[in-house]
Amino acid sequence: MNEETLAESNLQVSHDGSALADDVLSALSKAPAAQTLIRVLILSGSDNQACRSAVAALRREQDTPRRRRTELPKPPVILLITDSIKRIEQCRELVNDMLLWPEPAGLLDNRIQVLRHWQDARLELNMARDALAWHANRTEREHQLVEHIFRNALSRNYLDYPHLRTYLTPVSKFNGDLCLIAPGPLGNIYMLMADFTGHGLAPATGALPLSQAFFAMSDRGVSVAEMVTEFNFRLNRLLPADMFCACFLLELSANGERVTYWNGGMPPALQFDHKGKILQRLNAQHMALGVLDENDFDSRVTTFRASPDSSIALYTDGVIELLGHKLEFLGSDALESLLQRFPKPEDFPEVVGELEHFRGEQPLHDDLSLAILQCCATGLDEVKPAIEEISLPFVFESRLEVSYLQRLEPVGYILNALSQLPRLRSHRTTIYLLLAEAYNNALEHGLLKLDSGLKRSPEGFAQYYQLRSERLAELESGTVSIRIDYDADTEVLEFTVTDNGAGWEAALSAPQSEQSFGRGLELLKQLTRELYWEDGGRQVIFTYQL
Partner 1 sequence: MTLHRQFSNDGKELIIAIKGKFDFSLVQEFRQAYHDIGEQQPTVLIDLRETDYLDSSALGMLLNMRKSLGKAVKAIHIINCRPEVRSILDISRFDKLFIIE
Residue of 436, 450, 480, 540 that binds partner 1 (CB under 8 A): 436
Q: Which is nearer to partner 1, 115 or 375 (CB)?
A: 375
Q: Which is nearer to partner 1, 255 or 391 (CB)?
A: 255
Pick the closest to residue 426 from 253, 254, 546 (CA basis): 546
Residue of 109, 219, 257, 354 that binds partner 1 (CB under 8 A): 257
Q: Between β-strands 189-196 and 177-183, what pairing exists: parallel, antiparallel or unpaired?
A: antiparallel
In eight-state DSSP terms, residue 420 is T
514 binds partner 1 (CB under 8 A): yes
Residue of 273, 432, 492, 503 that binds partner 1 (CB under 8 A): 432
Q: Which is nearer to partner 1, 36 or 426 (CB)?
A: 426
Separation between Cα atoms, residue 201 and residue 178, nearest integer Å: 13
Backbone angles phi, psi at 248, to 5 degrees: -120, 120
225 binds partner 1 (CB under 8 A): yes
64 binds partner 1 (CB under 8 A): no
Stretch that binds partner 1, among 11-19, 100-108, 138-146, 215-223 (CB under 8 A): 215-223
Shortest gap between Cβ of 489 and partner 1 (angstroms)? Answer: 24
Backbone angles phi, psi at 369, to 5 degrees: -140, 130
Separation between Cα atoms, residue 392 and residue 422, nearest integer Å: 11
Residue of 15, 165, 423, 427 that binds partner 1 (CB under 8 A): 427
Neighbours of 421 (CB within 10 A): 15
462 binds partner 1 (CB under 8 A): yes
Stretch that binds partner 1, among 255-263, 316-324, 472-480, 491-499 (CB under 8 A): 255-263
Strand partners, 482: 398, 497
Separation between Cα atoms, residue 265 and residue 52, nearest integer Å: 72
Separation between Cα atoms, residue 442 and residue 351, nearest integer Å: 66
Shortest gap between Cβ of 430 and partner 1 (angstroms)? Answer: 6
In eight-state DSSP terms, residue 286 is B
Backbone angles phi, psi at 124, to 5 degrees: -60, -45
**Rg of the chain taking only CA atoms, in angstroms:** 43
Backbone angles phi, psi at 441, to 5 degrees: -60, -45
Q: Which is nearer to partner 1, 348 or 432 (CB)?
A: 432
382 binds partner 1 (CB under 8 A): yes
Strand partners, 282: 269
Q: Which is nearer to partner 1, 477 or 513 (CB)?
A: 513
Q: Which is nearer to partner 1, 332 or 516 (CB)?
A: 516
Q: Please give the residue ranges that form the binding site for partner 1 (CB under 8 A).
A: 185-186, 188, 220-223, 225-226, 253, 255, 257-258, 285, 299-303, 382, 409, 412, 415, 426-430, 432-433, 436-437, 440, 455, 458, 461-462, 465, 468, 513-517, 519-520, 522-523, 526-527
